């Protein structure tokens, strides 16, 4: 999420692809898949993939006339890269997150999970609002997933549904609010008091 990897590796495409391969280290992808998921042009992806192959950071496999790429778990610097990528995602300085306010009448936007290196969270992004644009939400999620390097678990609720679930002491909402999270947008003044309801 942060610009840390970009600064270290002096290339936005390279940093983005490193995060992608490290965070999806058990998957195989075609060149086309990699381009789409990372929103990068083919020529830049090919250049970086060739570099990764020479370094033995990734492995290429041919199957049914197609070439697939996968992270090499035996890469000498794999553990260090894994740790570095995890730490870089704890700094939510994301251009995508700044666009949440343009989705509609957003009352609340909270991040956890992959953004804060919190694997116990059931969702990475919680948005509460009304009259939200589905097209803008789709575009935002694609942008965030490209920045993060993996799919994002998200939950979107209307203001009415959020109030109802809070009043019902909904387990999902309460567990999220009791865990570590950061506020992107908060127009709900008593948010911090909500979790106290379950403890009474």
* Cα dihedral across residues 127, 108, 86, 99: positive or negative: positive
Q: Two tokens at 172?
A: 């999902």
- The mean pLDDT value for 125-133 works out to 95
| pLDDT score of 199 | 54
pLDDT at 146: 83
136, 139, 27, 4 alpha-carbon torsion, rounded to 10°: -110
The pLDDT score that the predictor gives to residue 90 is 53
Fold of 4-88: Arc Repressor Mutant, subunit A (1.10.10)
Query: How do the domains of the chain map onto residue ranges?
Result: 4-88, 97-199
Q: Average pLDDT of the chain?
A: 86
Q: How many residues does the chain have?
A: 200
Angstrom distances, CA of residue 23 to CA of 20, 78, 97, 116, 150: 5, 11, 20, 14, 6
Query: Where does the pLDDT of residue 10 fall: very low under 50, low under 70, confident under 90, or very high at 90 and above?
Result: confident
DSSP string over 65-124: TEEEEEE-TT-TTHHHHHHHHHHHTTS---TTGGGGGGGSEEEEEEE-GGGGT-TT-S-S
pLDDT at 64: 86
194, pLDDT greater than 90: no
> pTM above the 0.85 mark?
no
Q: Model confidence over 24-49: pLDDT tens digits?
A: 999 999 999 999 999 899 999 999 99
Structure letter (DSSP) for residue 3: S
Q: What is the pLDDT of residue 158?
A: 96
What is the pLDDT at residue 123?
Answer: 93
Q: Express each pLDDT in 134-166 by its tens digit.
A: 999 999 998 888 888 888 999 999 999 999 999
CB contact set of 189 (below 8 Å; sequence gap of 6+): none
DSSP label of 141:
H
E strand or H helix that includes residue 171:
helix 171-178
């Amino acid at each position: 999420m942060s610009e840390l990897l970009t600064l270290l590796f002096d290339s936005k495409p390279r940093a983005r692809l490193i995060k992608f391969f490290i965070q999806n280290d058990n998957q195989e992808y075609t060149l086309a898949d990699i381009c789409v998921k990372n929103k990068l042009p083919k020529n830049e992806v090919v250049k970086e993939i060739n570099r990764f192959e020479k370094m033995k950071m990734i492995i290429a496999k041919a199957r049914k006339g197609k070439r697939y790429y996968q992270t090499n778990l035996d890469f000498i610097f794999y553990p260090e890269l894994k740790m570095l990528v995890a730490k870089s995602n704890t700094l939510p300085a994301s251009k995508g997150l700044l666009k949440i306010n343009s989705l509609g009448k957003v009352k609340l936007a909270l991040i956890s999970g992959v953004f804060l290196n919190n694997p116990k969270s059931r969702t990475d992004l919680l948005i509460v609002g009304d009259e939200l644009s589905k097209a803008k939400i789709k575009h935002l999620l694609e942008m965030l997933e490209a920045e993060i390097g993996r799919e994002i678990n998200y939950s979107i609720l209307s203001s009415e549904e959020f109030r109802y679930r809070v009043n019902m002491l909904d387990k999902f909402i309460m567990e999220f609010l009791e865990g570590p999270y950061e506020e992107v947008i908060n127009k709900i003044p008593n948010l911090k008091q909500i979790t106290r309801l379950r403890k009474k």
